[in-house]
């Protein structure tokens, strides 16, 4: 079985082929234009997807030494994401499906981040998943493939959003997560104590207080001293911010393990690329004697390999979708979309 995966939910146009023998190709066209704006500009994202999607899919097929005739089904991101951006990928996939008479598989982008762990590994079920991306932060309990329960999620900003917004305050390029990660490796986590919203009543997260605290912290530095202070301590501030974010994530993960007694834990989403998070999760896994999985760095942030592998797992269950399937911008729209 060969599955073509297409991803266009945000600012990466991506295509990949996953087959019985594993991943055959993985092409990602990143949209650098957004860096100038300090965030993703939806209309620019849709235009860039439109321009590159055909070439990206063509390259994914070429690199796999396949043509559309060799493809058994087309998996495509349905949401959540930017509506205009999703429509480009979904419409393109529908066009291919009709032209070549291939079944379609709609993929939930968050599921795909979780199943990115299956591109090169085989985590055991049930498992606890920490899903940390630019738009979502959730702890889920996955009983069996495509059946999960959300234990808790963020009440406001996502973990990746916290990295990006604090990075903006520190004048770092967008997306700031990877920059903060790198700087943090040379800094002191105890330089400044940023708030850790543990919200003791459960598995929910909140990162907006941390963002505000970082803003006040920087604004309180006298203007004439700011440049020199940041020059001397950007590493330390990055380490302290990363410590505050990852501490909350890992503590809640530990709590979820204790509650569910799951033996396997996976990290998913762009923030799962974070070095401090990976290290702390590793320590926690040793402490609780659980198995920890996280994807290789290239499969943590948005890519189509995760869409193709999720499509592959769904195709094995003959879980195909109708040509009329609609995109959904947010998770709260999903039930409505599924019924239409
Ligand atoms: O999963 P993803 O590529 O896109 C969404 O679905 O949102 O996640 C992107 C997020 C951004 O907020 C980015 O700053 C963050 O992941 N990120 C990181 C790292 N690499 C990406 N955050 C912290 N450390 C990293 N190494
Ligand atoms: Zn993503």
Q: Are residues 209 and 230 in the same domain?
A: yes
Measured between alpha carbons, how far is 252 from 281 in angstroms, rounded to an integer? 11
Interval 104-136: pLDDT, tens: 999 999 999 999 999 999 999 999 999 999 999
Q: Are 105 and 151 members of one domain? A: no
* Site to substitute for ligand 1 among 270, 279, 305, 306, most atoms within 8 A of C-beta: 270
CATH number at residue 283: 3.30.420.40
pLDDT in tens, 149-192: 999 999 999 999 999 999 999 999 999 999 999 999 999 999 99
Cis peptide before 179 (omega within 30 of 0): no
In a domain, 307, yes or no: yes
Ligand 1 interacting residues, C-beta cut-off 6 A: 10, 113, 133-135, 160, 163-164, 175-178, 181, 269-271, 273-274, 301-302
Same domain for 135 and 282? yes
Section 328-337 average pLDDT: 72
Q: What is the pLDDT of residues 291-316, one digit of tens each?
A: 999 999 999 999 999 999 999 999 99
Q: Are residues 167 and 273 in the same domain?
A: yes
Return the structure tokens found at 152: 């808790």
- pLDDT beyond 50 at 280: yes
How many Å apart are CA 260 and CA 281, to the nearest integer?
A: 17
Q: How far apart are CA 1 and CA 103, in angstroms?
A: 12
Ligand 2 ion local residues (Cβ < 5 A) = 133, 302
**In this predicted structure, what is the pLDDT of residue 179?**
98
Same domain, 258 and 181: yes
Give me the mean pLDDT over the 248-274 stretch. Answer: 97
SS3 209: helix
Residues 219 and 274 in one domain: yes
Nearest CA to ligand 1 atom 20: 178
Which residue lies with its CA nearest to atom 16 of ligand 1? 270
In a domain, residue 93? The reply is yes
Residue in 271, 279, 294, 306 to alter for ligand 1 test, most ligand atoms within 8 A of Cβ: 271
Q: What is the pLDDT of residue 245?
A: 98
* Percentage of the chain modeled with pLDDT above 70: 97
The answer to whether position 339 is within a domain reads no
Domain count, the chain: 2
Atom of ligand 1 nearest to the CA of 273: 26
Question: Is 169 among the domain residues?
Answer: yes
Kindly give the number of the ligand 1 atom that is closest to the alpha carbon of 113: 1
- Please give the backbone phi and psi of residue 299, each rounded to the nearest 5 degrees, phi first: -100, 0
Kindly report, residue by residue over 187-214, the tens digit of the pLDDT: 999 999 999 987 676 899 999 999 999 9
Say how many Å lie between the CA of residue 134 and the centre of ligand 1: 5
CA neighbours closer than 13 Å in the CB half-sphere of residue 204: 10
Domain carrying residue 259: 124-294
For 47-113, give the DSSP string. HHHHHHHHHHHHHHHHHTT--GGG--EEEEEEESS-HHHHHHHHHHHHHHHHHHT--EEEEEHHHHH
Same domain, 163 and 216: yes
Rounded distance from Cα 68 to ligand 2 centre (Å): 26
**Local structure of residue 36 (DSSP, 8 states):** G
Task: Give the neighbor-by-neighbor strand order of the sheet with 2-7.
Answer: 22-30, 12-19, 2-7, 73-79, 104-108
Question: How far is the centre of ligand 2, averaged over its atoms, from the C-alpha of 301 (Å)?
Answer: 6
Instruction: Say yes or no: 109 and 128 in one domain.
Output: no
Asked whether residue 340 is assigned to any structural domain, the reply reads no
Is 338 contained in some domain? no
Ligand 1 probe mutation, 177, 248, 268, most atoms within 8 A of CB: 177
Q: How far is the CA of 135 from the centre of ligand 2 (A)?
A: 8
* Whole-prediction pTM: 0.95
Return the residue whose CA atom lies nearest to atom 7 of ligand 1: 134
Residue 202 confidence (pLDDT): 85
For residues 133 and 204, membership in a common domain is answered with yes
CA 73–ligand 1 middle distance (angstroms): 29
Same domain? 329 vs 277: no
Residue 28: C-alpha distances to residues 14, 49, 181 (Å):
4, 11, 22
Is 29 within the bounds of a domain?
yes
Q: Within this chain, do residues 217 and 310 fall inside the same structural domain, yes or no?
A: no
Q: Do 44 and 111 fall within a single domain?
A: yes
- In the reported structure, the alpha carbon of residue 286 is separated from the centroid of ligand 2 by a whole-number distance in angstroms of 28
């Amino acid at each position: 079985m060969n599955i073509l995966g297409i991803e266009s939910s945000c600012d990466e146009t991506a295509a990949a082929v996953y087959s019985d023998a594993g991943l055959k190709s993985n092409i990602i066209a990143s949209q650098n234009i957004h860096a100038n704006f300090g965030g993703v500009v939806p209309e620019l994202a849709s235009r860039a997807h439109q321009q590159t999607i055909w070439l990206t899919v063509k390259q994914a097929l070429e690199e796999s030494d396949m043509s559309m005739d060799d493809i058994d089904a087309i998996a495509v991101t349905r949401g959540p994401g930017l509506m205009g951006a999703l429509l480009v990928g979904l419409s393109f996939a529908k066009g291919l499906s009709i032209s070549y008479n291939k079944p379609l598989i709609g993929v939930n982008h968050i599921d795909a981040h979780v199943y990115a762990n299956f591109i090169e590994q085989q985590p055991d079920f049930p498992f606890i998943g920490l899903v940390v991306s630019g738009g979502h932060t959730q702890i889920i309990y996955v009983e069996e493939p495509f059946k999960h329960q959300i234990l808790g999620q963020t009440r406001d900003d996502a973990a990746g959003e916290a990295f990006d917004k604090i990075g903006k305050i520190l004048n770092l390029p967008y997306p700031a997560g990877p920059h903060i990660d790198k700087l943090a490796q040379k800094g002191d986590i105890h330089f400044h104590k940023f708030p850790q919203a543990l919200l003791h009543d459960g598995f929910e997260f909140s990162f907006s207080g941390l963002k505000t605290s970082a803003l006040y912290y920087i604004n309180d530095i006298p203007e004439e001293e700011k440049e020199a202070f940041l020059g001397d301590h950007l590493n330390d501030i990055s380490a302290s911010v990363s410590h505050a974010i990852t501490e909350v994530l890992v503590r809640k993960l530990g709590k979820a393990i204790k509650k569910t007694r799951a033996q396997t834990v996976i990290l998913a989403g762009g923030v799962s690329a974070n070095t401090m998070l990976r290290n702390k999760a590793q320590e926690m896994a040793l402490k609780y004697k659980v198995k920890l999985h996280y994807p290789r760095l290239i499969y943590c942030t948005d890519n189509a390999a995760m869409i193709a592998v999720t499509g592959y797992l769904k195709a094995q269950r003959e879980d195909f979708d109708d040509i009329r399937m609609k995109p959904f911008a947010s998770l709260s729209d999903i039930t409505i979309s599924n019924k239409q």
